[in-house]
């Protein structure tokens, strides 16, 4: 019994990480006024870059950095298209998703001649991984979990307690007001989408390096979208998003233990149903940033 509970808990935490990272990415971006549904694609590209770089250079940590870098680069492209060129944010995001689906498969064939690539290394913490206790522990709760917890806490402080956070939120609510006070709207929005992409890329690295130990075609499997649901569920706050990520992770973790009365596809619907419920219900109403999705142009 205890073993089952522990297994479910560990699995919940493991499964919550990609949702949380993608949701945090969404939170940064939308708080600054840019919708980033491209998270799904940034995650997928990140997952591929992580394994590819790990296998080529032999270091999982470099793989992680590559994943974050690729995510940031895709975030930057999204920024150029939506912030500077003022294109539709959904269309740009969709383009990033489709592009990622294609480029990852293309590069898989090109570099490895297959679309299922086993990662040759995992993220190991120097010193700690030498000890048996930590080795066993990390096999249950991978190191990136702790990095994620740290990022959630830092994001909370950054968004709500710092000068940058205040400006970032102001830009997402009423960019013109921020502009008249000398806040550089474009700079804040670029910063937000680049962070957003980086977090999604990191989520992708977690999926391929830590979770599956493989890159497979389409590995993100809608987790970027569930991340957006977590963001909404968490009312565009880092702590709320992490909470929602855990909830969705739990939903997935208990699945193997549930009696097989309900088809598992229905269980998969739970995050979305919860999100729709939260969006529709008057209680705990979720209000998105006022200017999200609207490109800003100075007159």
Q: How far is the CB of 193 from other proteins (least distance, A)?
A: 20
Give dist(CA 237, CA 231) in Å, integer: 7
CA 118 to each of CA 112, 201, 298: distance values in angstroms, whole numbers, following the listed order: 10, 18, 49
- Contact between 223 and other proteins by CB under 8 A: the answer reads no
Nearer to other proteins, 63 or 172 (CB): 172
- Tell me: does residue 4 bind other proteins (CB under 8 A): no
Q: Which C-beta is closer to other proteins: that of 112 or that of 174?
A: 174
From 4, 180, 265, 297, residue interacting with other proteins (rule: CB under 8 A):
180
> Are the beta carbons of 205 and 50 closer than 8 angstroms?
yes
**Residues whose CB falls within 8 Å of the CB of residue 206, separated by 6 or more in sequence, listed in order:** 17, 18, 21, 142, 144, 148
Asked if 183 is part of the footprint of other proteins (rule: CB under 8 A), the reply reads yes
82 vs 171, which CB is nearer to other proteins?
A: 171
Q: Pick from 1, 110, 181, 261 the residue near other proteins by CB under 8 A.
A: 181
Site map for other proteins, 267-296, x if CB under 8 A? --------------------x--x------
Q: Residues 6 or more apart from 2 whose CB is under 8 A from it?
A: none
- CB nearer to other proteins: pick between 173 and 268: 173
For 261, other C-beta atoms within 10 Å of its C-beta total 6
Both tokens of residue 274? 């919860």
Footprint of other proteins on 157-176 (CB under 8 A)? 157, 161-164, 166-167, 169-170, 173-174, 176
Listed residue (214, 224, 221, 158) closest to 21, CA to CA: 224
Asked if residues 250 and 291 have their Cβ atoms less than 8 Å apart, the reply is no
CA gap 192, 165 in Å, rounded: 10
Per-residue binder mask for other proteins (CB under 8 A), 124-163, x = binder: ---------------------------------x---xxx
Nearer to other proteins, 121 or 183 (CB): 183
SS3 68: helix
Q: Which of 177, 269, 273, 276 binds other proteins (CB under 8 A)?
A: 177
CB of 230 to other proteins, least distance (A): 21
> For other proteins, which is the closer residue by CB, 168 or 209?
168
Give how far Cα 17 sits from Cα of 58, 195, 202, 244, Å. 24, 17, 10, 11
Q: Which is nearer to other proteins, 158 or 270 (CB)?
A: 158
CA distance 147 to 138: 13
Question: Smallest distance from the beta carbon of 157 to other proteins, in angstroms?
Answer: 8
* Residue 182 contacts other proteins per CB under 8 A: yes
Binding footprint of other proteins, residue count (CB under 8 A): 20
- Nearest C-alpha neighbor of 148 from the set 266, 19, 45, 55: 19
Q: Interface residues with other proteins (CB under 8 A)? A: 157, 161-164, 166-167, 169-170, 173-174, 176-178, 180-183, 287, 290
């Amino acid at each position: 019994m205890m073993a089952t509970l522990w297994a479910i808990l560990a699995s919940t935490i493991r499964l919550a990480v990609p949702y949380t990272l993608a949701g945090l990415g969404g939170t940064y971006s939308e708080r600054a006024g840019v919708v980033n549904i491209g998270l799904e694609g940034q995650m997928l590209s990140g997952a591929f870059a992580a394994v590819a770089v790990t296998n080529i250079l032999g270091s999982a940590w470099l793989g992680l950095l590559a994943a974050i870098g690729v995510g940031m680069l895709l975030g930057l492209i999204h920024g150029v298209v939506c912030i500077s060129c003022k294109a539709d944010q959904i269309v740009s995001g969709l383009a990033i998703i489709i592009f990622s689906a294609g480029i990852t498969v293309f590069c898989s064939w090109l570099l490895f001649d297959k679309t299922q690539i086993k990662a040759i290394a995992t993220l190991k913490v120097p010193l700690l991984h030498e000890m048996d206790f930590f080795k066993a522990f990390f096999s249950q709760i991978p190191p990136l979990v702790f990095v994620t917890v740290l990022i959630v806490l830092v994001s909370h402080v950054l968004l709500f307690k710092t000068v940058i956070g205040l400006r970032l939120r102001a830009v997402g609510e009423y960019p013109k007001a921020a502009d008249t006070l000398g806040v550089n709207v474009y700079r804040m929005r670029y910063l937000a989408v680049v962070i957003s992409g980086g977090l999604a890329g990191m989520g992708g690295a977690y999926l391929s390096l830590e979770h599956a130990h493989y890159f497979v075609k389409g590995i993100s499997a809608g987790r970027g979208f569930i991340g957006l649901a977590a963001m909404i569920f968490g009312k565009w706050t880092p702590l709320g998003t992490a909470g929602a990520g855990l909830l969705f992770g739990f939903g997935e973790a208990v699945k193997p233990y549930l009696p097989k009365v309900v088809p598992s596809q229905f269980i998969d619907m739970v995050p979305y149903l919860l999100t729709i419920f939260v969006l529709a219900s008057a209680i705990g109403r979720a209000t998105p940033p006022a200017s999200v999705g609207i490109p800003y142009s100075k007159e």
